[in-house]
């Protein structure tokens, strides 16, 4: 993640990136679970 403000910017970027990655992981897990649920009904 590209940020300004030197050390503070790097820290903010790392915090935001970690939260973003966690959010994406939860979303992908939900999509996978729904896909598996739908496939299992056939």
pLDDT tens sequence across 16-32: 999 999 999 999 999 99
31, two tokens? 């999509």
The distance in angstroms from the start CA to the end CA of the chain is 42
pLDDT at 1 over 90: no
Q: How far apart are CA 16 and CA 38, in angstroms?
A: 33
Q: Whole-model pTM?
A: 0.68
pLDDT of residue 10: 87
The residue ranking higher by pLDDT, 33 or 40, is: 33
Residue 33 φ/ψ, nearest 5 degrees = -60, -40
């Amino acid at each position: 993640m590209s940020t300004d403000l030197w050390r503070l910017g790097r820290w903010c970027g790392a915090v935001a990136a970690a939260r973003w990655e966690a959010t994406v992981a939860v979303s992908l897990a939900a999509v996978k679970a729904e896909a598996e649920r739908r496939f299992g009904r056939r």
